[in-house]
């Protein structure tokens, strides 16, 4: 059982979201009762991490139904389209929203009591959150078996980027779930966590989770990765994904691509860990992935403190795309795809 507070909780007909903007200093929940509040929470990064964003969307659609008497198909579709505008890159938002919209349209006729649809959507949300725990456990065990094949049973040194733990998933993490799973089996010697500038998800969130779990770690700036890999301080790198194209190209937090390129240069295994809800087989390659451009103030200032000269401008892509050729393997609930290509990825295709 994790020592980290779960970031989503459904209570008294509302969704409580751990405000991740305030971590690690404060653990405060924000209560959302409307679809508009859910949209704002996703947009403003109260909640972040692709799986957690997707689950938040499911609860948001349930909240939309709670305020209505009758289920109207056109209004239901419009609510889903509105919610998907909150953030563009993480496909889980689109995947979960489209899935629940399509499912309800197929199951409930026009004019059904909204309360009946609400019960179904809410139960579906609860079920999918819990199902991810089992999926992530399988992925973590798959990763550990892969590493055992490479290194035997000795303790391992990991590196990770951004935050891919409980805070990002709502339950057990993906890439960071590999680390916590390995730690529970006495297999972690050290974890190097990138700070993940400019939003500092590594420094604020991954370090927070590692400390809570009692896992030994050091924070490093992204620029230190090359030194660590050159001096053979890292056995394997694990990252998450916000969207994976049909050929294995992977969008993740900005800086991931650089890390993958350097890892390949120094011969360090580089793995992506993500559920199938993060895969987008409608996109042939990473060239088709829309990259979210966030506000320049995230770079020019830290909270209320200006760090750049007055008048300075900044460019702030929130994600980059790691080419499949730089990825050792992609791990999902369907197993591991080593050296992903369009051909090897094809076996993972599944309907919405």
CA nearest to 77, candidates 52, 104, 39: 104
Q: What is the pLDDT of residue 281?
A: 95
Q: How far apart are CA 108 and CA 243, in angstroms?
A: 30
Superfamily for domain range 136-348: Translation initiation factor eif-2b; domain 2 (3.40.50.10470)
Enter the pTM of the model. 0.93
Q: What is the pLDDT of residue 84?
A: 97
- What topology is assigned to 8-130 in CATH? 1.20.120
CA nearest to 260, candidates 208, 225, 217, 310: 225
Q: What is the pLDDT of residue 138?
A: 97
Q: Where in the chain is the domain with CATH 3.40.50.10470?
A: 136-348
- Is residue 119 classed as helix, strand or coil in its secondary structure? helix
Six token digits for residue 114: 């909204």
Other Cβ atoms less than 10 A from the Cβ of 135: the count is 22
DSSP for 166-213 reads: HHHHSSS-SHHHHHHHHHHTT-EEEEEEE--TTTTHIIIIIHHHHHHH
Q: How far apart are CA 31 and CA 319, in angstroms?
A: 28
CA nearest to 340, candidates 194, 226, 241, 225: 241
Residues linked to residue 271 through DSSP beta bridges, in sequence order: 238, 329
**Could you tell me the CA-to-CA distances from 287 to 243, 248, 257, 273 in Å, in that order?**
12, 12, 13, 21
Q: Where in the chain is the domain with CATH 1.20.120.420?
A: 8-130
Q: What is the pLDDT of residue 302?
A: 85
Six token digits for residue 71: 């289920």
Q: What is the pLDDT of residue 2?
A: 74
Question: For this structure, is 242 an active site residue?
Answer: yes
Measured at the alpha carbon of residue 6, what is the angle toward residues 5 and 9, in degrees to the nearest 5?
A: 125
From 19, 124, 242, 249, the catalytic residue: 242
Q: How far apart are CA 272 and CA 161, in angstroms?
A: 11
Going from the first residue of the chain to its last (352 residues), give the mean pLDDT of each consecutive group of 10, the final group possibly shorter.
86 96 95 98 95 96 95 98 94 95 98 97 95 95 98 98 96 96 98 96 97 97 96 98 97 97 98 95 96 95 90 97 98 96 90 41
Q: What is the pLDDT of residue 1?
A: 59
């Amino acid at each position: 059982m994790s020592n980290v507070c779960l970031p989503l909780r459904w209570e008294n007909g509302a969704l409580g979201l751990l405000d991740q903007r305030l971590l690690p200093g404060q653990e405060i929940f924000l209560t959302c009762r409307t679809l508009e509040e859910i949209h704002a929470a996703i947009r403003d990064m109260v909640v972040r991490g692709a799986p957690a964003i997707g689950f938040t969307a499911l609860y948001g659609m349930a909240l939309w139904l709670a305020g209505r008497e009758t289920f109207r198909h056109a209004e239901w579709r419009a609510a889903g389209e509105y919610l998907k505008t909150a953030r563009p890159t993480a496909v889980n938002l689109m995947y979960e929203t489209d899935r629940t919209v399509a499912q309800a349209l197929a199951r409930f006729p026009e004019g059904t009591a909204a309360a009946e649809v609400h019960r179904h959507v809410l139960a579906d949300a609860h079920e999918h959150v819990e199902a991810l725990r089992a999926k992530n456990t399988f992925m973590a065990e798959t990763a550990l078996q892969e590493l055992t094949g490479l290194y035997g049973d000795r303790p391992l040194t990991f590196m990770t980027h951004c935050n891919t733990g409980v805070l990002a998933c709502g339950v057990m993490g993906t890439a960071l779930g590999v680390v916590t799973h390995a730690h529970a089996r006495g297999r972690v010697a050290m974890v190097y966590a990138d700070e993940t500038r400019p939003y500092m998800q590594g420094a604020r969130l991954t370090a927070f989770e590692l400390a809570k779990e009692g896992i030994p770690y050091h924070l490093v700036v992204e620029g230190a990765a090359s030194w660590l890999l050159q001096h053979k301080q890292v056995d394997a790198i694990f990252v998450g994904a916000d969207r994976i194209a049909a050929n294995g190209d992977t969008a993740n937090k900005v800086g991931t691509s650089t890390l993958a390129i350097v890892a390949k240069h120094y011969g360090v295994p580089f793995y992506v860990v993500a559920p199938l809800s993060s895969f987008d087989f409608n996109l042939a390659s990473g060239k088709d992935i829309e990259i979210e451009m966030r506000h320049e103030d995230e770079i020019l200032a830290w909270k209320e403190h200006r760090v750049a000269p007055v008048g300075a401008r900044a460019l702030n892509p929130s994600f980059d795309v790691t080419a499949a050729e730089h990825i050792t393997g992609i791990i999902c609930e369907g197993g591991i795809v080593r050296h992903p290509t369009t051909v090897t990825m094809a076996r993972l295709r599944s309907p919405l």
